Amino acid sequence: MTGYGEAQGEADGVSLAVELKTVNNRYLKTIIKLPELASFLEEDIDKLLRKNISRGTINYMLRLKDASANALFDIDETALLAVLEKLSRAGSSAGINAAIDIGNLLTLPGIIQPALPNKEKAGQIKKLVLEISQEALDKLKRMRATEGDYLEADIKKCSMIIEEDLEQIRSRSAIVIKEYADKLKKRVNELLAHAELKIDEGILAREVAIFAERSDISEEISRLDSHLQQFAQCCRGSDQAGRRLDFISQEMLREANTIASKASDTETTRYVVNIKCQIDRIKEQVQNIE
């Protein structure tokens, strides 16, 4: 389910901003981007995200909005002085008298290092980051809840259409057998009319029975109806129902496909096609449900 949340705060001269985005995913995946100042918080943030969200891809980004230079980095003065001394000594040995650009030396590996907060400051940063992260999560969940209301209404509408079409299929199942028997009897009578033979009612009854057995969809109708009831109960149940709804919708489609393969009636086939369209829509929507 898609969602967005953001929050910001300030501690000890450092302003931090959290931005959260979620997109659909069958499972839970966290993508966390942190500045060096707060890199030690990755595990705590991951636990917080997993505690609040159970499904989807979560993009978490923590930004430094305003911070002093001391808060961002340290210069290893010992290493810098050592490099300057070696360059000066090498220049003297080679007879080269040239100015050394310190700005270029700062780009050397190990000269500039990220500032690591002390224990007290790290505790302050952790407290602030987790607080604003929870605030952003609350905003994100409210947005997802609003979207969930629309999803629930759409899924219920699809389920109602399936129930109506399934009832039409159930009412036609008995009529189809009778229509087949009448058509078969009429066709056989037409073929035997010229030979002045009479149809064997026993043979006709056997053929109708075989057709009825082969096209019997009563079990599939009952199972599909049961799946619809389970689906409705799951929608009314607790949170984190997305995966269960996904599984039930797959079973619904399986039963609809079986009905379609057995149906020899064009009217029944038309209802099945409509049912499958609604199930496909449900399958798309339940991917958005946590």
For 175-216, give the secondary structure using H, E and C. HHHHHHHHHHHHHHHHHHHCCCCCCCHHHHHHHHHHHHHHCC
Q: What integer best gives the mean pLDDT of the chain?
A: 78
Task: Quote the distance between the C-alpha of residue 145 and its chain's center.
Answer: 15
Angstrom distance (rounded) from CA 186 to CA 184: 5
Q: Give the class (CATH, top level) of 150-286.
A: mainly alpha
The boundaries of every CATH 1.20.140 domain in the chain are 150-286
CATH topology of domain 3-71+119-145: Ribosomal Protein S5; domain 2 (3.30.230)
DSSP 140-182: HHHHHHHHHHHHHHHHHHHHHHHHHHHHHHHHHHHHHHHHHHH
Task: Quote the distance between the C-alpha of residue 95 and its chain's center.
Answer: 68
How confident is the model over 42-55, as pLDDT tens digits?
999 999 999 998 88
Angstrom distance (rounded) from CA 113 to CA 118: 15
- Whether 254 shows a pLDDT value over 80: the answer reads yes
The boundaries of every CATH 3.30.230 domain in the chain are 3-71+119-145
- Whether 1 shows a pLDDT value over 80: the answer reads no
pLDDT of residue 47: 94
pLDDT of residue 262: 76
Note if the pTM is more than 0.85: no
* Strands of the sheet with 28-33, listed across from one edge: 3-11, 14-23, 56-66, 28-33
Token pair, residue 231, equals 């689906």
Which pairing describes strands 112-114 and 3-11: parallel, antiparallel, or unpaired?
unpaired
How confident is the model over 123-155, as pLDDT tens digits?
888 888 999 999 999 999 998 888 888 888 888
**Between the CA of residue 104 and those of 4, 72, 110, 249, what are the distances in Å?**
41, 19, 13, 62
